[in-house]
């Protein structure tokens, strides 16, 4: 399978994750102009699985290092498979809440609050489990990201003409962030420590990605069904609506969104061997800044708001400095 052998490459892959995780929600913005996010999310879940399988049968099955995907899958023990699957289940409910928050509050708010909180919790949880890197630099970086979250929430409350309560969008984003801060640990616990010479029973990153995606899709029949019939925003939708209201273009947009996120996830757990799970996850969740850029400059989500420019500028500064410290934590 294809793996990396340096921290520099790990940082490159983490930045790819950052771009993917910060950009996939643009597909939701495009699709949900025409149909509800719950219906979009079915295609998103399929896209996550399809891309993970594509990578598993290509990059995960070539080369001389590690185990090929099928070989790795057949030797895995139940605890490793269950842990990666549970990671998908936990992520799914967190991400559906995030998607709902985007529908209510927009990308420039839901991402910095929800994913920023997930970054802070995820780094702490994964560092405790696998301490790698300078803890002072790492946690100062995380603290600066938390400051950026607070600044973004303050800017959001200044938006005019909101149809939903400002508190509602923020609360759902926070709940999504808490849950998303823990899913990565389940996946990390399922994986081998040495990708080139993997120990028996545990999973290599490509296999972990596929099992995670299966957990996501399977749990969608529970989590997304609840949100379809008991929506936190908008009208109730049914399974019949998925087939009646969607066309090929809408379905492909959703699948593309899932594929973009899945690419970011797979390269992130590949990077974790060299960077450590805490740093790899923390850098990947710099997606908050990427998503905020999309929301501010492309979707114009703060257009018409007064007194927010200074807050938004400060938010980006704190994010950038915080991410820089997270990168430096592995070097010093």
Query: What is the DSSP code (8-state) at residue 191?
Result: B
Query: What is the DSSP code (8-state) at residue 60?
Result: G
pLDDT the model gives residue 148: 86
Question: Whose CA is closest to 123, among 324, 277, 317?
Answer: 277
| Contact between residue 134 and residue 322 where contact means Cβ atoms under 8 Å apart | no
Tokens of 209: 């990605």
Where does the pLDDT of residue 75 fall: very low under 50, low under 70, confident under 90, or very high at 90 and above? very high
pLDDT the model gives residue 306: 82
pLDDT the model gives residue 318: 93
Task: Kindly state the helix (H) or strand (E) to which residue 255 belongs, with its residue range.
Answer: helix 248-275
Where does the pLDDT of residue 164 fall: very low under 50, low under 70, confident under 90, or very high at 90 and above? low
Q: b/e for 125-134, b at 16 or more Cβ within 10 A?
A: bbbeebebbb
- Where would I find the beta strands (DSSP E) of 10-122? none
pLDDT the model gives residue 290: 85
Q: Out of 59-68, 192-201, 214-223, 278-287, which region has the weakest mean confidence (pLDDT)?
A: 278-287
Where does the pLDDT of residue 169 fall: very low under 50, low under 70, confident under 90, or very high at 90 and above? confident
What is the average per-residue pLDDT within 290-308? Answer: 81
Q: Out of 68-77, 82-91, 297-306, 319-328, which region has the weakest mean confidence (pLDDT)?
A: 297-306
- Where would I find the beta strands (DSSP E) of the chain? none
CA 302 to CA 158: how far, in whole Å? Answer: 9
Where does the pLDDT of residue 281 fall: very low under 50, low under 70, confident under 90, or very high at 90 and above? very high
pLDDT the model gives residue 161: 63
What is the average per-residue pLDDT within 170-188? Answer: 93
| Average pLDDT, rounded, for the chain | 91
Question: Whose CA is closest to 71, among 47, 45, 63, 269?
Answer: 63
pLDDT the model gives residue 107: 67
The percent of residues in the chain predicted with pLDDT above 70, rounded, is 98
What is the average per-residue pLDDT within 120-139? Answer: 93
Whether the pLDDT of residue 32 is over 70: the answer is yes
Taking the model in full, what pTM does it have? 0.90
pLDDT the model gives residue 170: 85
pLDDT the model gives residue 163: 55
Between the CA of residue 291 and those of 3, 11, 18, 25, 116, what are the distances in Å?
28, 19, 9, 8, 11
pLDDT the model gives residue 96: 92
Degrees to nearest 5, angle at CA 292 with 265 and 24: 35
């Amino acid at each position: 399978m294809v793996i990396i052998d340096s921290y520099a490459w790990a940082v490159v892959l983490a930045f790819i994750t950052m771009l993917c995780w910060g950009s996939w929600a643009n597909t939701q913005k495009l699709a949900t102009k025409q149909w509800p996010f719950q219906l979009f999310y079915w295609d998103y879940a399929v896209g996550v699985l399809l891309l993970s399988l594509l990578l598993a049968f290509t990059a995960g099955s070539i080369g001389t290092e590690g185990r090929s995907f099928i070989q790795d899958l057949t030797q895995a023990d139940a605890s490793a498979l269950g842990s990666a699957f549970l990671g998908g289940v936990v992520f799914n409910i967190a991400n559906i809440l995030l998607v709902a928050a985007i529908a209510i509050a927009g990308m420039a708010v839901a991402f910095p609050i929800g994913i920023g909180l997930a970054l802070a919790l995820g780094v702490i949880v994964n560092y405790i489990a696998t301490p790698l890197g300078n803890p002072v630099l790492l946690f100062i970086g995380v603290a600066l990201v938390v400051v950026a979250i607070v600044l973004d929430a303050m800017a959001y409350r200044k938006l005019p003409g909101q149809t939903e309560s400002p508190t509602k969008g923020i609360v759902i984003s926070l709940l999504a962030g808490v849950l998303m801060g823990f899913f990565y640990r389940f996946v990390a616990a399922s994986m081998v420590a040495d990708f080139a010479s993997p120990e028996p029973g545990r999973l290599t990153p490509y296999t972990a990605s596929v099992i995670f995606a299966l957990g996501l899709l399977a749990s969608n029949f529970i989590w997304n069904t609840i949100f379809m019939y008991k929506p936190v925003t908008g009208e109730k939708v049914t399974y019949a609506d998925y087939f009646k209201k969607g066309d090929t273009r809408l379905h492909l947009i959703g699948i593309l969104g899932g594929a973009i996120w899945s690419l970011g996830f797979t390269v992130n757990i590949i990077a974790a061997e060299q960077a450590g799970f805490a740093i790899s996850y923390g850098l990947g969740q710099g997606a908050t800044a990427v998503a905020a850029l999309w929301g501010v400059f492309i979707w114009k989500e703060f257009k018409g708001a007064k007194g927010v420019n200074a807050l938004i500028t400060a938010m980006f500064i704190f994010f950038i400095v915080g991410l820089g410290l997270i990168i430096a934590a592995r070097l010093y």
